[in-house]
Amino acid sequence: MKDGFIKVSAITPQIKVADPAFNAEQICTCLDKAYAEQAKIIVFPELCITGYTCQDLFLQQQLLYGAKEALNQIIVHTAGNDALVFVGLPLSVEGKLYNVAAVLSDGHLHGFVPKTCIPNYGEFYEVRHFTPAPEEMKEIVFGGRSVPFGTRLLFTCKNREDLVIGCEICEDVWSPDPPSTAHALAGATVIVNLSASNETVAKAEYRRMLIASTSARLVAGYIYCSAGEGESTQDLVFSGHDLIAENGTVLAESKRFAPGSISSELDLERIAHDRRKMNTYPRCRDEGYVRVPFSYNKIENTKLTRFISRTPFVPGDVNQRTRRCEEIFEIQAGGLKKRLLHTHAKTAVIGVSGGLDSTLALLVTARAFDLAGKDNEDIIAVTMPCFGTTDRTYQNALSLAKALGCTLKEVDIRQSVTQHFADIGQDMENHDVTYENGQARERTQVLMDLANKESGMVIGTGDMSELALGWATYNGDHMSMYGVNAGVPKTLVRHLVDYVATSTPDAELSRVLKDVLATPVSPELLPPVDGVISQKTEDLVGPYELHDFFLYYLLRFGFDPAKIYRLACIAFFEDYDRAVILKWLRIFHRRFFAQQFKRSCLPDGPKVGSVAVSPRGDLRMPSDASNALWMREIDFLDHPENQDIL
């Protein structure tokens, strides 16, 4: 369970109705496979020891005896294996029959959890055979020893305090007030569901949505295991639709209509982080709960099989990505529209360089003007060529402004910057940070003064990735009157521009945008070489795809450097070796802490996603916080003997 990852499995065995001995053998065989895969939580379907579809055979004493014997066989089989196993059977208690989950590990029976919501509608008629779970907890005798029985059972791991498991059965999760809600409020971080849900048209889609949304609402992992092949098909068909979800994301899903298993890794640290961060998540309400401790004999370095996206800010599915871009574009434009109307700004002034960020900002401004019913002629697009400007970016800036119908204004700042350098004694041949920042601040001064002159406001172009790294000139491109890109990471900027390029009916606009996308990212503050950009940002500060990955996991989940490094090594193994990833991870953490002072005085700008760096809400961080704790862990990773962490 290194880094909080725990391997879990949902298994739908092939069974025979009313044949507990055969079913126990199948379950034990499946357990052996799950043990070999190092699963630590293993869930089987509802009533799988007998089969869910036994109907009135559940009232036969012979079947109930057989189920008990089969459970004993399975308990014995778990000896020597510490995985927590949930398996379903009918159980007679004090003259009543209950649909229960038995919880086992290492040759021990830890408890029985009875089903709360017994359906009595349509094709489901369980009330004929089973009694709803009693409200009170009790102890019953099974196999000569006392065992807890009731719905308010939580199975708590002694090795890992953030692993607390609650259990519900099938219909429970479909009810308006499922037991899982109380379990989560009492501290459960993982919910298991033993189910026997039949198939009808479109039911699988609803089931998938239900399980995903339940895991999101509870901020929990959810393991759902359903009955499948071997159940009676007299009136219903069961497909074995198994699901593993975490915080709203489906991590694994079975192929229906075939016996088998699914497995994945739940991230307990992610769950715990989100609950800490979500201050509306209630404090623990565990009145009436019985906590049953269990332990793992060996804490293993769980091998990760769950998908880790290289671009956590960008959906992999094309259709989902298009919808995401549409939504973000409207959020940006809607925010700017409100600010323009509130300030009674006549114009919007924006510096256009022919690069990605200023291109997106100009597109957003044009959309905001459409929403506000304003004429694009009142967008003043300003190009300010200087020592590093190349003809390619200059021409793209001109073409973009023309295609959008903006008022284009060119202010060549070479002379004013040269005079400024003379005033402060800066050698023109010394291409240091003063040489670079002097140009950026001159451009900002021009924009601010033009905005005053034209009764307008300056639209900021800098993106969230640059702000995270401090890759902005303080009081230069760092400053504006409204930063429309402040919540958009660099990897997403590219897709937003591409979204407009591919969706616009304007062929010329599409052509210009595609050339902007093909241009290397650069601040263009150093002279070009043979007319070509000489200063490429990613050569200096590192690949933005890595920095955005680091940023996402640092701020969204609060992960430590070792865990981020481990995930990055898996996600980027085809493109970067470990030493390169570690190098940029070190630079990211160094810059992120050192440059907070720039983020502490950011202008307003719209938040568009779950990660943002606004000092007014999302990142309230001291400008002089030490990074020593984080850098020590990175130093630890830098030793060869500590590299093998995957």
Strand 108-114 with 41-43, pairing: unpaired
With residue 351 as reference, give the H or E element that holds it: strand 347-351
Question: From CA 259, how far away is CA 12, in angstroms rounded?
Answer: 6
Question: From CA 561, how far away is CA 336, in angstroms rounded?
Answer: 36
Strand 456-460 with 347-351, pairing: parallel
CB atoms within 10 A of CB 19: 18
| Catalytic residue status for 167 | no
Question: From CA 560, how far away is CA 581, in angstroms rounded?
Answer: 15
| Catalytic residue status for 170 | yes
Q: Which of 7, 40, 68, 115 is catalytic?
A: 115
Calculate ∠ Cα 166-170-174, nearest 5°.
Answer: 95
Q: Hey, is 605 helix, strand or coil?
A: coil
Q: Which of 170, 325, 406, 569 is catalytic?
A: 170
With residue 632 as reference, give the H or E element that holds it: helix 628-637
Cβ pair 230, 14 in contact under 8 A: yes
- Rounded to 10 deg, the angle between the 356-372 and 507-517 helix axes is 150
CB atoms within 10 A of CB 62: 10
| Catalytic residue status for 28 | no
Cβ pair 227, 240 in contact under 8 A: yes
**Count of CA atoms in the C-beta half-sphere (13 A) of 397:** 25
Amino acid at 93: V
Q: Which of 46, 265, 436, 442 is catalytic?
A: 46
CB atoms within 10 A of CB 640: 6
**Count of CA atoms in the C-beta half-sphere (13 A) of 23:** 33
Place of tokens 């008990």: 68
- Rounded to 10 deg, the angle between the 628-637 and 561-571 helix axes is 50
With residue 147 as reference, give the H or E element that holds it: strand 145-149
User: Could you tell me which of 393, 319, 404 has the C-alpha nearest to residue 361?
Assistant: 404
Residues in Cβ contact with 452 at an 8 Å cutoff, skipping those fewer than 6 apart: none
Rounded to 10 degrees, what is the CA torsion of 196, 202, 205, 208?
A: -10
Active site residues: 46, 115, 170
